[in-house]
Amino acid sequence: MRIEDEGEQGMSGLLSVVGTGPGARDLVTPRARKVLEEADVIVGYRTYLDLVRDFFRADQEIVSSQMMQEIDRCRRALEIGDSGRRVALVCGGDPGIYAMAGLVFELAREMKSRCRIDIIPGIAALNSCAAILGAPLMHDFAAISLSDLMTPWEVIERRLEAAAAADFVVVLYNPKSKKRTTQIVRAREILLGHRSPETPVGIVTGATREHETVQLTTLAGMLDCDITMQSTVIIGNSTTYTWQEKMITPRGYRDKYGLA
C-alpha cells in the first residue's frame, strides 16, 4: 500500500507502519522483523518499542514517545520519510486495526507527503486472544471498541445493538479504563437484551506477555472479572459453548455433514 504523488519519481523515503503483534517476541512476523532490522529510524510508543528492542541495530535512531501522542508520532515518521530515510513506525497488534495505518494515510494526504508507505501486518489482539481461548471466532463476528474518545457513545451503542441483534460473536476492544468504567456495564446490558445470561465470555489480559491472564466466564458474571485497557473481551453467540476450559463457536460442519 502506498501514497502516490507526482508519480514514482516524486517519491522520497519509505515509511513502514509495522505491526508487531500482541507482545510475544516469537509472534513478530519475519517481515516485520526484517523491516525493523533494516530501518534507519524507528518511531513508536515507548512500551511497544521495549517489546521489540531485540530486533534493533545499535546504529539506528530511536524516536520514542508516550501514550496519547499518536498524531505527533505519525507526523514525525512522515517527516523522516520525506527526508529520504527508511523509517519504521511501530504499532502493537496489526496497524490497520485500531492502530496507526489510517492516521498515517490521513496525515500523508494533508501534508502532501511523497514518501512511500508500506503497511506491515501483524497478529491482532482478536487473533491472539481467540487462539488462547480456543476457537470463539469460527463464525461471523464483530469487533467494537468501547472507547468514546473519538467515537460518540451513541454510535457505539447502535453498533453494539446491531451486533447483538444479529447474533454476532462480539469482540470488545478498549473495554474499561480507570476513567471509563460505565461503558462495559452498558455493553453487557445491551447484549443481555438479545442473548442468554449463560452465554460464554472470554477475557484475555496482556495476551502472550509475561503477565497474561485468562478468565472464562458468562455474560451474567463478566463484570465480576478483572477487566482493564489491556483486556480483550470476546462474547459468544447463541451457539458458543465451553469445553475443557476452552471457548468454541461452531462453524456449522455438524449440520452440514452430519458429524456424529
pLDDT score recorded for residue 260: 56
Q: What is the model's pLDDT at position 252?
A: 78
| pLDDT tens sequence across 225-237 | 999 999 999 999 9
Q: Indicate if 109 and 142 belong to the same structural domain.
A: no
Per-residue pLDDT at 97: 96
Residue with cell 466466564: 217
Say what the pLDDT of residue 11 is: 53
DSSP string, 199-221: -EEEEEESTTSTT-EEEEEETTT
pLDDT below 70 — which residues of the chain? 1-11, 259-260
| Residues 62 and 20 grouped into a single domain | yes
Rounded CA separation 120/36 (Å):
11
Counting the structural domains of the chain, the total is 2
pLDDT of residue 255: 75
Query: What is the Cα–Cα distance from 203 to 72, expressed in whole angstroms?
Result: 32
Q: What is the CATH number of the domain that holds 66?
A: 3.40.1010.10
Look at residue 260 and tell me if it is in a domain: no
Report whether 24 contacts 8 (CB < 8 A): no
Among 99, 123, 147, identify where a domain stops: 123
pLDDT tens per residue across span 32-55: 999 999 999 999 999 899 999 999
If asked whether residues 18 and 84 sit together in one domain, one would say yes
Which is it for strands 200-205 and 231-235: parallel, antiparallel or unpaired? antiparallel
What's the pLDDT at 3? 42
Do 35 and 68 have their domain in common?
yes
Sign of CA dihedral 178, 183, 187, 188: positive
User: What pLDDT is stored for residue 4 in this prediction?
Assistant: 42
Q: How far apart are CA 259 and CA 253, in angstroms?
A: 7
Give start and end residues of each alpha helix (H) in 58-118. 70-82, 101-111
Query: Domain end: 123, 157, 189, which one?
Result: 123
Q: What is the pLDDT of residue 42?
A: 97
Q: Which domain, by its residues, includes 15?
A: 8-123
145 and 41 share one domain:
no
Please, which residues bridge with residue 235 across strands?
170, 201
Closest to 90 (Cα-Cα) out of 113, 122, 59, 112: 122
Structure confidence at residue 9 (pLDDT): 46
